Amino acid sequence: MTFFQHFPLMAYDIKGTQEYKLLPQIIKRVKLRSGIRSGVFLFDKYDVKDGEKPEDVAFKWYGDAGLHWVILMTNNITDRYYEWPLTQPQFQEFIEDKYGLASIDSIHHYEITQTSGRTSSNGPNDYSHLVECNSDEDGAVAVTNRQYEQRLQDKYRQIRLLDTKYLRPFVEEFERLIQE
């Protein structure tokens, strides 16, 4: 079942002619409980492959492309076009449009390794040990616009997938809450 089929219907006069049509009440929103969002044992980590869409991942993981909304919801993705990883050609076009060809490799900001807390990376796409700083700071390293945007894309690639044994209860609770 697709996402909006779960929503209650409402009568709406589209043209103002007293001819009402039944439409999904899309202004309703259901949010994940904080206990579910932080429940590490409920989720598996997944790296989105280049070109994979939410529907592809849902079909691969749940056997149903229509359950892509579960992936978007559990990862708090509200804009699938800008919070889901772009393909390489889309990414190149995006940064060219955003920064212009001449500025893609211009400096976005500077950063240094923080001096307290965690001071090293937990992997190739972990930048949480780095902090933004002024360009004149000792050890400051320039980050280009391209690098900055690539880091965002790398972050978007890291998603969590709800364990299949929790899928049915999750969908049932969503259906119950959206109807309230």
96-110 per-position pLDDT tens digit: 999 999 999 999 999
- The most confident of the ranges 12-21, 31-40, 73-82, 137-146 is 137-146
Q: What is the pLDDT of residue 164?
A: 95
Q: Is the pLDDT of residue 3 over 90?
A: no
Q: Is the pLDDT of residue 15 over 90?
A: no
Number of neighbours of residue 79 by Cβ within 10 angstroms: 8
Chain mean position to CA 169 = 22
Entry pTM: 0.75
Tokens of 167: 């899928």
> Of 133, 126, 131, 132, which is closest to residue 151 (Cα–Cα)?
126
pLDDT-derived band at 168 (thresholds 50, 70, 90) equals very high
Q: Is the pLDDT of residue 86 over 60?
A: yes
Q: What is the pLDDT of residue 35?
A: 58
DSSP alpha helices (H): ranges in 11-166?
Answer: 34-37, 54-62, 68-74, 88-99, 145-157
| Helical packing angle, 145-157 and 88-99, nearest 10° | 140
Tokens of 101: 């060809």
| Helix H or strand E segment including 178 | helix 167-179
29 or 166: which leads in pLDDT? 166
Question: Can you give the length of the chain in residues?
Answer: 180
